[in-house]
Amino acid sequence: MASLKDVAQLAGVSMMTVSRVINNAPRVTPATRQRVEEAIKQLHYVPDLSAQKIRGQANKPRTLAVLAEDTATTPFSVDLLLAIEQTALRLGWDSFIINVSAADDRQRAVRELLAHRPDGIIYTTMGLRKIQLPEALQGLPVVLANCVSDDPHLASYIPDDYQAQYDATRYLLTRGYQRPLCYWLPEHELAPTARRLGFEHAWCDAGKSLDQVTQLHMPKGDEGYLAFASVLATHITPPSLAYDVVVCGNDRAAFVAYQQLLTMGIKIPHEMAVIGFDNLVGVGHLFLPGLTTLQLPHYQIGEHAARHLIEQWDKPGLHKLACPLLERQSITERSGQ
């Protein structure tokens, strides 16, 4: 990371002159100001705003910065961000969050974050996605949380969506379910691709054909959830039921499934079972009957990311964390039926 001295040397001026330019002080000629500003831009220099870096303050706690892309404003972020804060506090570090609310806001957020000279950076996103690490962060101590990158040197902590759906499918099979209707999240995204693959591998490993399964992907946007009601009404025609379980891409889809099935007079789980994914924050435990679902490991992701930086783990690459199955009343034993 460039220093004030580096800027001064490149611009051919004193460090005091650089400081005057940064602080818009008078008595700096236009030509000198231009040279300093060009040096700042070339070196990606940002001012050091961290009071902990002031001379004589080196014994102060070290700091974790969280660059939260669409994360800090969503309910799913609660456990992840809480884990980072609690883990840092427990290990004697401070932490702060810089939120990125739009793609064109990322550059501003990165400058603000670096101005505080953090000792470690956690880059996190809402929804599993691939990111390109901003150039200004490359080479710094960065860990990814709930996102991935093509850079093999970066450590990344994400949910194990594949294994979770594989295990959930085996769970359904052991309880006698044979005719699933699957409504996955939008196609070509990382999480639904892994979940569908986990389902298909578990199904085929049990000696079954995918011809027995109806699989659909919802369109992007909230309208995809509303469309699920029409999908169910089209595919399910009481009293003869073509399916015995609805496999939902997440708990929001399961919420729609509950409403539509119950409106159609179909009893859950005795006539048709439902399984979700996510354990929706603040809602997952309120389904009646209780929704069997998979818990996204957001707290564990945040804890591992924080410990990776604080304890200086030498573990680059992708790290997948388990999504535990939460057994509730929306799945019942159907063996022998």
Is there a domain that residue 326 lies in?
A: no
Residues 19 and 57 in one domain: no
Domain of 61: which CATH number?
Answer: 3.40.50.2300
Residues 284 and 311 in one domain: no
170: containing domain: 161-296
Peptide bond between residue 192 and the one before it cis (omega within 30 degrees of 0): no
Residues 95 and 110 in one domain: yes
**What is the total count of domains within the chain?**
3
Residues 285 and 270 in one domain: yes
Residues 111 and 75 in one domain: yes
Residues 289 and 242 in one domain: yes
d(CA 183, CA 46): 47
Domain of 38: which CATH number?
Answer: 1.10.260.40
Q: How would you write the pLDDT of the chain (337 residues) with one tens digit per residue?
A: 678 888 889 999 887 788 788 777 777 898 999 999 898 888 888 776 554 444 444 455 689 999 998 766 677 778 899 999 999 999 999 999 998 877 677 888 898 899 888 999 999 988 899 999 999 999 899 999 999 999 999 999 999 999 999 999 999 999 999 999 999 999 999 999 999 999 999 999 999 999 999 999 999 888 889 999 999 999 998 888 899 999 999 999 999 999 999 999 999 999 999 999 999 877 777 899 999 999 999 999 999 999 999 999 999 999 999 999 999 999 999 855 4
Peptide bond between residue 289 and the one before it cis (omega within 30 degrees of 0): yes
d(CA 294, CA 276): 7
Backbone torsions φ then ψ of 222, nearest 5 degrees: -60, -25
Residues 91 and 105 in one domain: yes
Is there a domain that residue 329 lies in?
A: no
Residues 70 and 124 in one domain: yes
d(CA 236, CA 274): 14
Give which of 187, 177, 238, 249 is closest to 213, Cα–Cα. 177
